[in-house]
A and B are shown apart, each in its own frame.
Chain A
Amino acid sequence: MRMGFVAEEIRVGFRRNFTMTIAVIVTIAASLALFGAGLMVRAQVSTMKDYWYDKVQLSIFLCGDNSQVPSCSGGAVTPAQRTAIKADLLAQAPLVEAVFYESKKQAYQRFVKQFANSAIVQNVSASALPESFRVKLSDPSQYSVIQSQFAGRPGVEQVQDQRKLLDKFFKLLSGLQTVALGIALAMLLVTVLLVVNTMRVAAFSRRREIGIMRLVGASNWYVRLPFIAEAAVSAFFGATLAGGVLVAIKHFGIDQRLAPEYQFTTFIGWNALWQIIPVVYIVGIGIAVASSALSLRRYLRV
């Protein structure tokens, strides 16, 4: 195989088929960017799940001075009630792994830190925030056991499953992910059709060369390789553009916009991106090579 010759053929092919090649690169870039974004959302969901599920799963908010629920009719929680609740929680081991007490003051500090950039801090005083027990369960799905035991008990305002709050958010994210991957799938299909068509045009514009190659006994691979390599190079450029888009999303979208604003949770790190981008390259080049090889089987029969 003479690589210099093949490289020259690819260069000539690119020049001759310039507009189609640009179309292929842009389509591949767009579909791969969507595909990669879908993968990023998925990585984000799993990062957040790891982060949150690892933390507190259950909050037991205690009655404050102004609590309206019936179990708080006796006014704010008494120190005796608080001690009893904690003891009962600890008695639930091994289901209950750990219990943390968060006082009104600690709750306020955390609140201030979380909403440091927001004007809401000025309107909230320490006394307005409830004190609570934060409970870590060995098996978060056993939430209802604790719920039934502590909900409605005097001094307890509310038992809240943090996962339920998060699940809504995760559902939204995975919906987004499905949409992104769905569009990506449709775009990839378009890419396949476009590559097939481009190959047809390229084969037609080089029909003289192909005719002579066949006549003088060039092997199948010699005839097809320039086309397949051309598709692969287009896909490489497209994947590089898509990778650039993903890096931009991570840098400008996540690191500079989302992360400073939503400090209470974690976002995907660069290492997740370094795992996604190679997948984008492999999928892009794989699809381009497969569809070009497939179309050439029809148009370049020896």
Chain B
Amino acid sequence: MIKLEGVSKTYASGAHPALQDISLDIEKGEFVFLVGSSGSGKSTLLRMMLKEERPTTGTIYVAGKDLNKLQSWKLPALRRGIGTVFQDFRLLPNKTVEQNIAFALEVIGRPRAHVKKVVPEVIELVGLEGKEKRYPDELAGGEQQRVAVARAFVNRPPLLLADEPTGNLDPTTAVGIMKLLDRINRTGTTVVMATHDSNIVDQMRKRVIQLHHGEMVRDQARGVYGYLT
């Protein structure tokens, strides 16, 4: 699903490289935690998978495509196959729950009938039945994140990238979101999640890739958060 070969990223002003010689392979259907302290390069790595940023050197393959060689007009097609969830939810405050989710389909030109069919399905999947007409600021943080997950997943992407999705949530709510991501993973969707929430990583027992100052220091199947924070 994702393959990195010798990926490095250097910023002109940075004292040390943001990422240094990262090589890894993520199979289809895997659930992978990217762990490490703030500034270790987790977010940069996720942004590169979306081609929001380019590596200084090295090659990234997503869904079999070399991102360095991907023409810019094909970028939207790539992103349609990737769902994204962020710490700050990024919902539109002037749209209701169902409008927020439908927006993701409307802007890629999906027909109205299709939107009407799949939006209730995904609302049910994330457990927000009855809250379709609510606005984001009427929802609790965990519910808002469920809306964001629903929006990321409504187009059924084969890959879901989550950047600290539980960062703004209390532990109990965070567990709910993790269960949701796990359920999505079980449908065959590859999930890559950056986090520094050790409880969650320890509980899930999934593959853990640890970054420290831009270097990959650990890649462990069924790992725990570890001590290097």
Contacts and interface: CB of A to CB of B under 8 A. Distances in A.
A211 interface: yes
B90 A211 contact: yes
Contacts of A223: 107
Contacts of B140: none
Contacts of B206: none
Nearest to B84: A215
B80 A208 contact: no
Contacts of B109: 1-2, 219, 222
Interface string A208-225: 110111111111101100
B179 to A, nearest CB: 24
A216 B92 contact: no
B53 to A, nearest CB: 13
A215 B112 contact: no
Interface in B104-130: 104, 106-112
B76 A212 contact: no
Contact of A218 (B78, B90, B107): B107
A224 to B, nearest CB: 12
Contacts of A218: 76, 107-108
Give the interface residue-count category, chain A: 10 to 19
A213 B72 contact: no
A213 B151 CA distance: 11
Nearest to B94: A12
Interface string A243-281: 000000000000000000000000000000000000000
Interface in A281-302: 302
Contacts of A115: none
A222 B82 CA distance: 18
Contacts of B103: 209, 212
A302 B73 CA distance: 9
Contacts of B72: 302
Nearest to A223: B107
A217 B90 contact: no
B88 to A, nearest CB: 11
Contact of B155 (A2, A211, A213, A216): A216
A2 B84 contact: no
B75 A222 contact: no
A5 interface: yes
A216 B108 contact: yes
Interface string B50-81: 10000000000000000000001101111111
Contacts, number: 58
Contacts of B76: 217-220, 302
A5 B90 contact: no
A217 B112 CA distance: 18
A137 to B, nearest CB: 65
Interface residues of B, number: 25
Contact of A216 (B73, B79, B111): B79
A209 B92 contact: yes
Contacts of A212: 90, 92, 103-104, 107, 151
Interface in B135-157: 151, 155
A5 B110 CA distance: 11
Given A208-B92, A212-B90, A216-B155, A2 B79 contact: no
B92 A215 contact: no
A210 to B, nearest CB: 10
A212 B105 CA distance: 11
Contacts of A2: 106, 109-112
Interface string A197-214: 000000000001101111
A5 B79 contact: no
B79 A215 contact: yes
A218 B79 CA distance: 8
B79 A214 contact: yes
A282 B108 CA distance: 30
Between B50, B81, B106, the greatest number of chain A beta carbons within 10 A of the residue's beta carbon is seen for: B106
A223 to B, nearest CB: 8
Contacts of B155: 216
Contacts of A217: 75-82, 108
Nearest to A219: B76
Given A212-B103, A215-B50, A215-B90, 11 more contacts: A2-B109, A2-B110, A2-B111, A208-B90, A211-B90, A215-B84, A216-B84, A217-B75, A217-B108, A220-B73, A222-B109
9 contacts: A5-B106, A208-B92, A215-B90, A217-B76, A217-B77, A218-B107, A219-B108, A220-B73, A220-B76
List of 10 A-B pairs having minimum Cβ-Cβ separation, nearest first:
A217-B80, A217-B79, A218-B107, A217-B76, A216-B104, A213-B107, A219-B76, A5-B106, A222-B107, A215-B84
